[in-house]
Structure 1
Amino acid sequence: MKQRTAKFNIGDVVRHRMFPFRGVIFDVDPEFANTEEWWNSIPLEVRPSKDQPFYHLLAENDETEYVAYVSEQNLISDESGVPLRNPQIAQIFDKGPTGEFKPKMSFAH
């Protein structure tokens, strides 16, 4: 599989192209790195290719906050400026002077 350069960075706020959720990126895999069970649970007609970056998001929708794993092709930048409410954000990020998310120095995986 040919790897591509990631379009988004850790700390970027993004939203899903098709589903109503958004979040902040806290990790990036250069290509698919989840389980085959997870992969096979995606309907074939919407299953993305594995040879693209996949992003770990502190995500949220209208009902809840959670962690999501999303292919690059399904993400777009979120320019809404609406604050995120996921409580885990404060554990991983500090807010920069212009509102950007900067990883805390103590955070490592």
Structure 2
Amino acid sequence: MRNPGTAKFAIGQIVRHRLFPFRGVIFDVDPVFNNTEEWWNAIPEHMRPHKDQPFYHLLAENDETEYVAYVSEQNLLVDESGEPVRHPQLREYFDGYDSSKRTYRPRGRPHH
């Protein structure tokens, strides 16, 4: 296992869930689990990820809706669809979509 805090994915990157049918763009990263015990205990015990890994905040979407998700690194994969995310809060966090890199540009960072 890697050292806690070494994130595999980056802010602006589009990912999908390994088990469930949703995808999203990362807008924040916690180096280790940083949510409530109530949230943690709501996950079925046989599916609970380890707490000592990065957890990602996603502007997520599925076929029906958009929402914010909190997902462990072990449950994420790179989204290879090439499609942008449709989440209505994108403009709060990102300046635009770079289709050549398949990532979003975080607000306040230089554009190259």
Q: How far is the alpha carbon of 1:75 from its aligned partner?
A: 0.1
Give the equivalent residue in structure 2 for 1:17: 18
* Alignment of 1:52 onto 2:53: yes
Give the equivalent residue in structure 2 for 1:105: 108
Q: Give unpaired runs (5+ residues) of structure 1.
A: none
Q: Give unpaired runs (5+ residues) of structure 2.
A: none
Q: How does 1:37-48 map to 2 (within 5 A)?
A: 37-48=38-49
After alignment, is 87-96 or 17-26 more displaced? 87-96
Number of matched pairs? 105
Q: Aligned AA for 2:26?
A: I
Q: How far is the alpha carbon of 1:83 from its aligned partner?
A: 2.2
After alignment, is 75-84 or 97-106 more displaced? 97-106
Give the equivalent residue in structure 2 for 1:63: 64
Whether contact under 8 Å (2:59, 2:66) holds in the other structure is yes
Task: Please report the TM-score for the alignment, with normalisation by the length of structure 1.
Answer: 0.90
Q: RMSD in angstroms over aligned alpha carbons?
A: 1.5
Q: How far is the alpha carbon of 1:100 from its aligned partner?
A: 2.5
- C-alpha distance in 2, partners of 1:84/1:18? 19
**Any idea what SS the aligned residue of 2:60 has?**
strand
Q: How far is the alpha carbon of 1:82 from its aligned partner?
A: 1.6
- C-alpha distance in 1, partners of 2:36/2:53? 16
Task: Please report the TM-score for the alignment, with normalisation by the length of structure 2.
Answer: 0.88
